[in-house]
């Protein structure tokens, strides 16, 4: 095993796959000459050249369309958005073309493409740069949505996403690029659609994904001091969702808390809540609690932002609520 940063895990995954398959290329704003806005493509221009690591204009709709079109001639592009907030400019191409090419061509064309970049908040970036759109994309048939929380998962899942023959939305975080973690020296791939039990427990199930799961770990450490055992599930892939892992855990613990950095209405936590009440209702000993951001645009003020975001104290309170403590 070796210890690397999250950004290095991303770069390694892309580089290894590009060495393996010449039809893969990377395109996006500042991915080449600048080594990536977050240095997640460092050294790739030098290795693969300007035909396979391509700097684009600030034109998300345009380069998304170019990349999607290129899949129909045998290419497997990776498109980097500087943030998924900017993907809204190109979302017509993602929803109306990438997600639908296979069906609308009667299976004549697939669309092997990865759209990747950071999601959700990252400090004081203002309302328009602090949004989480996992549920938007996951709502669309034809798209797969991956949200890793650490370097090991990021590298293994990104390699799987690049090899997938369907479009994959791969969502990272500016606040995770510097995170360090162990990854194997050799090649490995993690399958899409498989959750991971990060911490086994018996009293309550906590489901989360992405960087906000760190708050669940903090809460579980505090609750352990009080004799409360938390099982933490990292979804890793939002769509397809590992429904079995969630249901089996709830059948064991009989209680569920869901932690998600997203607005409360119609989010991923809502879907999980429906899943559990429909497939494991008789096993529940308390109502499900979901923890989300406040139902407002993200504030710029650091004091208000702290209140807006879910934190470990919110998780502790939610766990005690479902335990009637």
Does the active-site annotation cover 182?
no
Q: How far apart are CA 168 and CA 310, in angstroms?
A: 27
CA 175 from centroid of its chain's CA atoms: 13
Q: How far apart are CA 255 and CA 80, in angstroms?
A: 38
Does the active-site annotation cover 22?
no
> DSSP letters along 285-296, please?
SS--EEE---SS
Tally DSSP H helices, then E strands, for the chain.
12, 14
Encode burial over 269-287: b for 16+ CB neighbours within 10 A, e otherwise.
bbbbbeebeeebeeebeee
Among 17, 29, 80, 129, the active-site one is: 129
If you search the block for the tokens 């080594």, which residue do you land on?
Answer: 35
What the block records as the tokens of 132 is: 């989480």
Is residue 320 a contact partner of residue 290, using CB atoms and an 8 Å limit? no
Among 8, 60, 80, 134, the active-site one is: 60
Give which of 217, 272, 220 is closest to 242, Cα–Cα.
Answer: 272
Q: How far apart are CA 202 and CA 178, in angstroms?
A: 33
- CB atoms inside a 10 Å sphere around CB 74: 8
Q: How far apart are CA 248 and CA 305, in angstroms?
A: 35
What the block records as the tokens of 277 is: 């009440």
Query: Which helix (DSSP H) or strand (DSSP E) does residue 247 occupy?
Result: helix 243-253
- Local structure of residue 271 (DSSP, 8 states): H
Active-site residue list: 60, 129
């Amino acid at each position: 095993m070796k210890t690397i940063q999250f950004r290095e895990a991303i770069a390694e995954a892309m580089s290894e796959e590009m060495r393996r398959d010449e039809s893969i290329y990377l395109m996006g704003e500042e991915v080449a000459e600048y080594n990536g806005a977050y240095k997640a493509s460092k050294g790739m221009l030098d290795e693969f050249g300007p035909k396979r690591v391509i700097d684009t204009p600030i034109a998300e709709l345009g380069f998304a369309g170019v990349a999607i079109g290129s899949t129909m001639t045998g290419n497997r592009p990776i498109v980097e958005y500087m943030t998924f907030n900017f993907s809204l400019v190109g979302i017509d191409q993602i929803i109306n073309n990438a997600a639908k090419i296979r069906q609308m061509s009667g299976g004549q064309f697939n669309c092997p493409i990865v759209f990747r970049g950071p999601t959700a908040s990252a400090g004081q970036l203002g309302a328009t740069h602090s949004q989480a759109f996992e549920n938007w994309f996951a709502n669309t048939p034809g798209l797969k949505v991956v949200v890793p929380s650490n370097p090991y998962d990021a590298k293994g899942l990104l390699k799987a996403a690049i090899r997938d023959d369907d479009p994959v939305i791969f969502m990272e975080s500016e606040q995770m690029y510097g995170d360090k973690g162990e990854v194997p020296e050799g090649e490995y791939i993690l399958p899409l659609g498989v959750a991971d039990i990060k911490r086994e427990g018996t009293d309550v199930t906590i489901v989360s994904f992405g960087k906000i799961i760190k708050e669940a770990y903090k809460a579980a450490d505090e609750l352990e001091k009080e004799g409360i055992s938390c099982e933490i599930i990292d979804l890793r892939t939002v769509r397809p969702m590992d429904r079995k892992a969630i249901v089996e855990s709830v059948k064991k613990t009989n209680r569920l808390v869901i932690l998600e950095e997203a607005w409360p209405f119609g989010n991923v936590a809502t879907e999980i809540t429906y899943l559990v009440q429909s497939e494991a209702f008789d096993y529940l000993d308390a109502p499900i609690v979901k923890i989300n951001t406040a139902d407002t645009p993200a504030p710029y003020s650091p004091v208000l932002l702290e209140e807006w975001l879910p934190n470990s104290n919110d998780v502790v309170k939610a766990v005690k609520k479902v335990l009637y403590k």
